[in-house]
Amino acid sequence: MSIVYSVLCMLCGRLSGHLRGAKFVRAGNAPPLVNRGGRYRCGFCGGNLYLEPEDTMTRLYPGDVDEAERQAS
């Protein structure tokens, strides 16, 4: 399984989504991220974002399959 990160705001602390590998998946209740000056910001308040590693090994979204699992099939 690949490492999953939560994408959180430094200013308001809200969850914007999750990052798995190079793919960002927005949280269901979060507005789209804002692109200011080539940097993505929180859609709620415009604050800076940071990544926090998830401590769970479960799949967050149905249908997520790792590349290694695809090749093994």
With respect to residue 73, please indicate whether it lies within any of the assigned structural domains: no
By residue range, what is the domain housing residue 31? 4-57
With respect to residue 72, please indicate whether it lies within any of the assigned structural domains: no
Q: For the sheet containing 23-26, what is the strand order? A: 23-26, 15-20, 4-9, 49-53
DSSP state letter for 57: -
pTM over 0.75: no
With respect to residue 23, please indicate whether it lies within any of the assigned structural domains: yes
With respect to residue 48, please indicate whether it lies within any of the assigned structural domains: yes
With respect to residue 8, please indicate whether it lies within any of the assigned structural domains: yes
Write the pLDDT tens digit of every residue in 2-54: 788 999 999 999 999 999 888 999 999 999 999 999 999 999 999 999 999 98
Domain count, the chain: 1
With respect to residue 53, please indicate whether it lies within any of the assigned structural domains: yes
With respect to residue 30, please indicate whether it lies within any of the assigned structural domains: yes
With respect to residue 34, please indicate whether it lies within any of the assigned structural domains: yes
